[in-house]
Amino acid sequence: MPRSKLIRLLSLFSLAALLTGCKAVVLSPSGDIAIQQRDLIYISVALMLIVIVPVMCLTVWFAWRYRASNTEAKYAPDWHHSTLIELVVWSVPLLIIIALGAITWVTTHKLDPYRPLDRISATEPLPADVKPLVVEVVSLDWKWLFLYPEYNIATVNELAAPVDRPIQFKLTSSTVMNSFYIPALAGQIYTMAGMQTQLHAVINEAGIYKGFSANYSGAGFSWMNFKFHGLSQPDFDQWVNRVRQSDLTLDRVTYLQLEAPSEREPIRYYASVSDGLYNAILNRCVEPNRMCMRDIMAVDAQGGLGLPGTVHLATLDTLTRSKLGLESAPERTYVSAICTIDDPAFASLQLMNAVR
């Protein structure tokens, strides 16, 4: 064997050896929703193979049967029609399309990310008294913020949930669109600024799983990863207690500092969260004297502010930005509030700005 050909073969074997170390998590998930999505992939592939396998086999057979050296093969240059062949080549694909269409219709509704779960697994129905764990997710540049309203805690780049308990994710973004994806748990769902998406899922096996952004969002995208811990209920309770032992509190000022673009952010715990913070993030009114989107839409529904609305703009002045520790954060111009802010953390700053 020539040396160059031997080198190519060895290279192919090396690549095959490397592939054996890959874990196809999409095909071996640990959450019921992801398992149903995997089964949908298997069914779709099997239906398509009904056409692909015979076509590939017949291609090889035709090439062998009608090769130039086979003088026994029938030569029919004037052949132009076969009712049987026409029936097969049209009816089989049509039946496959009908089957795929029916499966798509059913699973599109059954696996709708907004649809609450109706089972824990294929063998375990959803208990009547179970309460889903609500997790509020905010995609930042370039890290993930998770808020647990039931426990009044928050984390950065670490997510945890009990095994066999439904999870209801409420998701939004601070700036650009992102995609929240834990392959072992469920399909990806997009996060968008000023909008809320939802995802219902459940993890059925304890373990540590990878989560990440599946939508390019800028310079720090490659490190926008987090760990998802599937824990037993006692272990989850211990995890919550560990988060509560943190010395950090997530208020609006701290959030604005966290919101500034940063890369390779370490895991961080917040022992408590200011009331209404997630709704302020969703309505894009975390800053003092910034008008919430819900209020802007309410004003617009009444006809808008007219010409004054085009100049009713504000930004954080240098002194305020310094007091909030936002010197390095991007400066933003926004619609100024026309009503008082209910967060006491900003009361003094609001008064100071009004006096100035």
**What pLDDT is stored for residue 72 in this prediction?**
83
- Of the two residues 214 and 11, the one the predictor is more confident about is 214
Does 342 score more than 80 pLDDT?
no
What is the side-by-side order of every strand in the sheet holding 225-231?
A: 158-162, 225-231, 207-213, 178-181, 189-191
126 phi and psi angles, rounded to 5 deg: -75, 120
Q: Does domain 124-280 have CATH number 3.40.1710.10?
A: no
Q: Alpha helices, DSSP H only, in the chain? A: 3-19, 32-65, 83-110, 233-244, 252-259, 277-282, 293-301, 318-324, 347-355
The answer to whether residue 294 scores a pLDDT higher than 50 is yes
Q: Cis omega before residue 142 (within 30°)?
A: yes
Q: d(Cα 316, Cα 338) in Å, to the nearest integer?
A: 16
Summarised one tens digit per residue, pLDDT across range 140-161 is 999 999 999 999 999 999 999 9
AA letter at 47: L
Every domain of the chain and the residues it spans: 28-70+80-111, 124-280, 287-355
Q: Is the pLDDT of residue 322 over 60?
A: yes
pTM metric for this prediction: 0.80
Q: Do 166 and 116 touch, CB atoms closer than 8 A?
A: yes
| Per-residue pLDDT, 351 | 38
pLDDT score, position 71: 82
Give me the percent of the chain exceeding a pLDDT of 70.
85
Task: Please give the average per-residue pLDDT across 55-77, as a whole number.
Answer: 87
Q: Which of 39-43, 119-123, 297-301, 349-353 has the lowest mean pLDDT?
A: 349-353
> Where is average pLDDT lowest: 59-73, 133-147, 174-188, 209-223?
59-73
Nearest residue to 224 via CA among 233, 213, 209: 213
Question: Strands 167-173, 197-201: parallel, antiparallel or unpaired by DSSP?
Answer: antiparallel
Token code pair at residue 231: 């824990």
**How much is the pLDDT for 194?**
92
Query: How many other CB atoms are there within 10 angstroms of residue 128's CB atom?
Result: 5
In this structure, what are the phi and psi dihedrals at residue 312, rounded to the nearest 5 degrees? -85, 60
Q: pLDDT per residue over 229-238, tens digit each?
A: 999 999 999 9
Q: What is the structure's pLDDT at 15? A: 58
**What is the residue-averaged pLDDT of the chain?**
86
Going by pLDDT thresholds of 50, 70 and 90, the confidence category of residue 343 is low
